[in-house]
Structure 1
């Protein structure tokens, strides 16, 4: 892994970074580059398999968040890049895959409460959409 200066350099070599084709303030293309003709399709297949994995939903959660904003294809490329970045750091540091953002016990209390409130609001909306009546608790 010392051949590559950083994980971004590896992702660029593999063809998982967007092209920068801009002139006079006009963006002409932001497609992924044409590099990595052998590695890129393999990583895309791995990303597709990773989002379907039921035992470890880490990449599925990431995929669903990105898909809401960017769409399926861009989300798959983003997951492929995440996988390649994880592989780079795993091989460089010689340690197993252990994502720090999947451990919710280390999350700051403010952030935890914010996420909790968002989940509660979404659950209430879903229940109301299904026809349930929600009665808020009494505040004493």
Structure 2
């Protein structure tokens, strides 16, 4: 199984904490595939949950950061679905 990391790089020193872009650990190809899947989910499918999440972030950040955040949210959902053996059922939307 390929590992992928979509976590932000965090730098801490004393009282300051800086969250950077996603880390470059793991497979770059898998990260790219997740971002492409997130683009499809928010722009062309009827996934209201991810679309609303993306729109909310894109309104205050740039669209690239918003799509990467949506990809990470999708990855976490996939992990929990596989771990728990559950179907995709986002909050507020019936699957």
Q: Compute the RMSD of aligned alpha carbons.
A: 2.0
Q: Is it true that 1:14 corresponds to 2:4 in the alignment?
A: yes
The equivalent of 2:35 in structure 1 is: 44
The equivalent of 1:72 in structure 2 is: 63
TM normalised by structure 1 equals 0.56
Matches within 5 A, 1:1-140: 14-26=4-16, 30-36=20-26, 37-102=28-93
TM normalised by structure 2 equals 0.79
Higher strand share: 2
Residues 30-71 of structure 1, C-alpha deviations (whole Å, 9 max, x = no match): 121111223211111111111112433321111001111222
Higher helix share: 1
Gaps of 5+ in 2: none
What is the CA distance between 1:92 and its match in structure 2? 0.9
**Equivalent residue of 2:92, what SS?**
helix
Aligned length: 91
2-side partners of 1:56 and 1:30: how far apart? 28
